[in-house]
Chain A
Amino acid sequence: MSRIEGVLKSLKDQGRKALIPYITAGDPHPDQTVELMHTLVKAGADIIELGVPFSDPMADGPVIQLACERALKHGTSLRQVIGMVREFRKTDSATPVVLMGYLNPMEAMGYEAFADASADAGIDGVLTVDLPPEEADDVAPLFSQRGMDPIFLLAPTTTDSRIKAISEHSSGYVYYVSIKGVTGSATINVEEVAAKVAHIHELTALPVGVGFGIRDAKTAGAIGKVSDGVIVGSVLVDTIARHQSDPGALNKALYDLLYPMREALDSLAP
């Protein structure tokens, strides 16, 4: 059982929901990322999605786009991001880390080299935004063979036959993109999400994480109720942007934002 599957199973056994925060590696500075990851865990993160900065993040809104620009200004490379996870693992061997990013930096590094280095550093899953399963035949098996989970997106526009096919290519969990839009762009419709996630649960046994549009404890709680976990990104990255010049205040602000979401999710537990 992978570290991701283990964590999600244990949460399920307790009737709890997963809190999955996203931050962009290297933002605001590469030296701060590992500390921020530990802060996320202290605030209740079950899994961390660590963004790999890319020059052309087409599926992201302005908040994460600017985070990528800040990280790239300091030259944050994919190899460095893998190094950050290695550093994180020195003191945390329990929290799964999923790399989330775009295909080209992985292609430039070489898929085999990327998979080897990632597995070696203790990375647990890889989510490539612009890699649908149709194009993943040469890539996803490299992750699976090394014990990492390939994680794919489902969208409101995904048909039933695709939901099944995508789930078959996935392990760990599937990531349901709750809105038609880029990250951080629109308000989530809880009823629509609830209906869609229930439908996805009929088509796959994999846990369903829901992301895009979760901004506060209230929406986290509401979405947690109807899914297996909530993924929180833009609102955290926006907090990082606002406190980028004050690392101390940044860690506190991040904690203060995330912890109430943990509480909201745990209040759902029996």
Chain B
Amino acid sequence: MSVKLTDDMLKALPDSRGHFGAFGGRFVSETLMDSLMTLEKEYLRLKDDADFQAEFDKDLADYVGRPSPLYFAERLTRETGGAQIWLKREDLNHTGAHKVNNTIGQALLARFLGKKRIIAETGAGQHGVATATVCARLGLECHVFMGSEDVKRQSLNVYRMKLLGATVHAVESGTKTLKDAMNDAMRDWVANVDETFYIIGTVAGPHPYPLLVRDFQSVIGRELRRQSMEKVGKLPDALVACVGGGSNAIGMFYPFLTDESVELYGVEAGGLGIATGQHAAPLCAGRPGVLHGNRTYLMEDENGQIAGTHSVSAGLDYPGVGPEHSWLKDIGRANYVSVTDEEALAGFRTLTQVEGIMPALESAHAVAYALKLAATMDKDKMLVINVSGRGDKDIHTIAQLDGIEI
């Protein structure tokens, strides 16, 4: 059952304590509360500050290279034989993914707050690279926490971060992936809270992070709206984005939430298949719980311990998801689905071979689902895939699966 959303309803969310319906909030140890409340107060002030917004917009234009193109994938459309398939090309951003939209915004916040030391967690390394990049540009000290499993899977990005001057901390605890990187980033933050700004990479975490990351990423959807009207003369019929924490998806969806005609599809990592339990799809197969500062859908066992996840894509390998997605799922405004590792890899190959665009393995999940969905839609319909990142970082993974050493 879907609820008709209005602008007034959206303005009221999150509420003053960071809740999106039953989700979100601020579940952290006391040491961090003061910092989070200061950040919230400053952000709410700056978000309507003309100078702050002008600087953000200028950086997005001149440094990131926005607007990112909306590209009609003509050959892919013909081969799929259904809806027109368009690509929102976040892969063409500086540093190769949507992540930089948010790190630019948060680094500006850090500067306004006078913080000189930046920390970040990263899964695939895209957020780490985007953070290291803005730190290099602003002359800020940068520490990136990354699970040691991911350090192995994404060695190229690790080296990029080091070249940019960041210190990369390989996290050996727990499952050695994104969730553990986030644990250690939080631990570092507690210990260095006075001088440190934590640039969270996704729309999860304690309030106000889900709010401010969504706002910074919403440039994707705002541009798409405008480009869609200019190029096609109407709004798209369906939007498809991959969901790990969910920042590229919320950035694409948010400006369309009140447009009932626009169907929203978030694609989670189905790993080896939902039935195997080896996946990273909390919205499809999890239940609400509390982790990393917010209440949201989680993958957990019957005792409330966080479950291990699996995905071929390090950026989606996370047991939680942004609280606003949990809310959108429960009110029925967005559809959350999953595709397996194998389907995502096939999506990667298809887009590479048919359009000459190599998507990140994360984005390949959106591609794979979109191809299935487009085939069921009429030819006069318009579907947009958020190509959230480019696949250069995944070449080693793909080659390894092909049994090729490079």
Contacts and interface: CB of A to CB of B under 8 A. Distances in A.
Interface in B290-310: 290-293, 298, 300, 302-306
Given A62-B173, A134-B26, A54 B305 contact: yes
Interface in A134-154: 134-135, 152-154
A137 B21 CA distance: 16
B31 A156 contact: yes
Chain A contact residues: helix, strand, loop or mixed: loop
13 contacts: A54-B305, A56-B179, A56-B180, A59-B31, A65-B173, A77-B303, A78-B303, A102-B290, A156-B31, A157-B31, A157-B34, A157-B193, A159-B34
A58 B292 contact: yes
A162 B33 contact: yes
Interface of A: 54-59, 61-62, 65, 69, 72, 77-79, 102-109, 129-132, 134-135, 152-159, 162, 166, 177, 180-182, 185-186
A153 B30 contact: yes
A140 to B, nearest CB: 14
Contacts of B305: 54-55, 72, 104-105
A185 B33 contact: no
Interface of B: 17, 25-35, 173-174, 179-180, 183, 186-187, 190-194, 288-293, 298, 300, 302-306
Contact of B187 (A61, A132, A134, A156): A61
A124 to B, nearest CB: 21
A72 B174 CA distance: 11
B27 A132 contact: yes
A180 B31 contact: yes
Given A56-B183, A132-B30, A153-B29, A108 B194 contact: no
A132 B33 contact: yes
A137 to B, nearest CB: 10
Nearest to A154: B30
Nearest to A175: B30
B361 to A, nearest CB: 25
Contacts of B292: 56, 58
A222 to B, nearest CB: 22
Nearest to B192: A180
Contacts of B180: 56
B31 A155 contact: yes
Given A55-B174, A56-B291, A108-B300, A130 B191 contact: no
Contacts of A162: 33-34
B304 A107 contact: yes
A131 B292 CA distance: 12
A196 to B, nearest CB: 13
Contacts of B31: 59, 153, 155-157, 177, 180
Given A56-B291, A182-B191, A185-B191, A130 B27 contact: yes
A256 B226 CA distance: 72
A112 to B, nearest CB: 15
A131 B190 contact: no
B356 to A, nearest CB: 41
Given A157-B35, A182-B190, A108 B302 contact: yes
A267 B194 CA distance: 37
Contacts of A55: 174, 305-306
B186 A152 contact: no
A135 B22 CA distance: 12
B303 A105 contact: yes
A58 B33 CA distance: 14
Given A105-B303, A107-B304, A181 B190 contact: yes
Contacts of B183: 56-58
B173 A104 contact: no
Contacts of A77: 303
A181 B186 CA distance: 10
Contact of B191 (A107, A132, A158, A180): A180
A157 B196 CA distance: 14
Between A56, A177, A182, the greatest number of chain B beta carbons within 10 A of the residue's beta carbon is seen for: A56
A64 B305 CA distance: 16
B34 A104 contact: no
Contacts of A102: 290
A182 B187 CA distance: 6
Nearest to A181: B191
A153 B34 CA distance: 13
Contacts of B34: 155, 157-159, 162
A247 B305 CA distance: 27
Nearest to B25: A135
Nearest to A102: B290
B144 to A, nearest CB: 18
* The 3 nearest A-B residue pairs measured at CB: A108-B304, A105-B304, A181-B191
B174 A104 contact: no
Contacts of A56: 174, 179-180, 183, 291-292, 306
B289 A107 contact: yes
A240 B289 CA distance: 31
Given A62-B173, A135-B25, A177 B300 contact: no
A182 B290 CA distance: 19
A104 B291 contact: yes
A180 B290 CA distance: 23
A118 to B, nearest CB: 15
B194 A180 contact: yes
A56 B299 CA distance: 13
Nearest to A166: B30
Given A58-B29, A61-B187, 16 more contacts: A56-B174, A58-B183, A59-B29, A59-B31, A103-B27, A104-B289, A105-B305, A107-B289, A108-B303, A132-B27, A135-B17, A162-B33, A177-B29, A180-B193, A181-B191, A182-B187
Nearest to B302: A108
B30 A106 contact: no
B25 A104 contact: no
